[in-house]
A and B are shown apart, each in its own frame.
Chain A
Amino acid sequence: MPRPFEALCERLLRAGIAPRHVRRYERELGEHLDDLTAMQKCRGYDDEDAAIRARALLGTDDELADAMTACKQFRSLAARLPWLVFALAPPVLAAALLLSCGLTVAGALYPFFHGRPLPSNLIAAVDVLCRIFNILAGPLTAVFFVILAVRQHLPWRWPVIAVGVVALFSAFTVFIVHLPSALDTHLEVGVGLAAYDTTLWQNAARFCLTAVIALVATHILRIRRTTV
């Protein structure tokens, strides 16, 4: 069953109103409509007439949408500055995600580290974790921006730009954890350019992996949105 203000919400999201403001508006309009309907029933109208009269009193979709879109402060950052959100923020977020992974690994290893080489099974586990982070950070970041764009009903060029930027970034960036060994007792965590450590084919493969995962997520979200 369609929500009573579905078309209005769709219109507001397309106009760039932030989803949280749209949800709040929808909820309060629903409560107001319930009050109006109850009042019409008290005046003796049957359920159907009361509902029609209440909806008319609430205002047309044009009135309700215009009142909201006239308030510029309700526009989302993504609608106001899409280039900032979908072109500049993705690499920053991807880097932040990798760094936070690094700090998590460092924090987890700290209790085992006393300037001595770490146990071999722990080294193997960290190596696997690093590989997983390096593979997943890009796609996760790209999917985040896709979800952001889908929620706000933004034009498809923006998530595509974000996916492209993140794919490029993740193809040439690598997260490294240098564990203490017998020769070197330092524990180092860092994010750096992968160009020197990897071949062009590896970079291309990472670019494609990020792009494909993000585009598949986009496709799934699009299908869900059209079928729900």
Chain B
Amino acid sequence: MPGQPNPNFMAGVPELVVLRLLKDREMYGYEIVQAIREQSGQVLNAGEGVIYPVLHALEKDGALKSRRKTVSRRSRVYYRVTPKGLQRFERLANSWGTLVAAIQSVLKGEPHAAPV
């Protein structure tokens, strides 16, 4: 958000990506990681297991709901986004859009404020 400090530019990115993917349909951890990898063109590529603390934290905050479902004789935990999660996604997406625009502006050397 404009005017707010961004001590860590990547803060909130895993949540943003996960919420965006789960906005369309419910998925399980492995599926989410593969989708992130494919859709980011292999750029977002960390240890796959680190997705679970993100999912669990989002669920604890009420942004996601999970349920155990058996598909093709494999039992897995499926996650889906809640209305609270959708609101959080909108906030994060706006915030991220503003940050990206600001960084692009800096990279292009465009002045935002008139020189004093």
On A, residues with C-beta under 8 Å from B are 21, 24-25, 28-29, 31-32, 34-36, 57-60, 63-64, 67-68, 70-71, 73-74
Contacts and interface: CB of A to CB of B under 8 A. Distances in A.
26 contacts: A21-B56, A24-B56, A25-B53, A28-B52, A28-B77, A29-B49, A29-B52, A31-B77, A32-B30, A32-B48, A32-B49, A35-B30, A57-B47, A57-B48, A58-B49, A59-B47, A60-B47, A63-B50, A64-B47, A67-B47, A67-B49, A67-B54, A70-B53, A71-B57, A73-B60, A74-B53
B113 interface: no
B46 interface: yes
A183 B48 CA distance: 75
Task: Determine which residue in B30, B53, B57, B75 has the highest number of CB atoms from chain A within 10 A of its CB, and name it.
Answer: B53
A63 B52 contact: no
Contacts of A31: 28-30, 74-77
A64 B56 contact: no
How many interface residues does chain B have, given as a range?
10 to 19
Contacts of A63: 46-47, 49-50
Given A57-B48, A58-B47, A25 B56 contact: yes
Contact of B30 (A21, A36, A60): A36
A24 B52 CA distance: 9
A31 to B, nearest CB: 6
Max chain A C-beta neighbours (<10 A), residue from B49, B60, B75: B49
A64 B60 contact: no
Contact of B46 (A32, A59, A73): A59
Contacts of A70: 53
B29 A73 contact: no
A227 B48 CA distance: 32
Where chain B touches its partner, the secondary structure class is: helix
Contacts of A68: 52-53
A58 B53 contact: no
Q: Ordered nearest first, which 8 A-B pairs have the shortest CB separation?
A: A59-B47, A67-B50, A63-B47, A35-B30, A67-B53, A59-B49, A58-B49, A68-B53
A73 B47 CA distance: 21
Contacts of B75: 31
Contact of B53 (A35, A57, A60, A71): A71
Contacts of B56: 21, 24-25, 71, 74
Given A32-B48, A35-B30, 12 more contacts: A29-B49, A29-B52, A31-B28, A31-B29, A31-B30, A63-B46, A63-B47, A63-B49, A67-B52, A68-B52, A68-B53, A73-B60
Contacts of A74: 53, 56-57, 60
Given A58-B47, A60-B47, A63-B46, A28 B53 contact: no
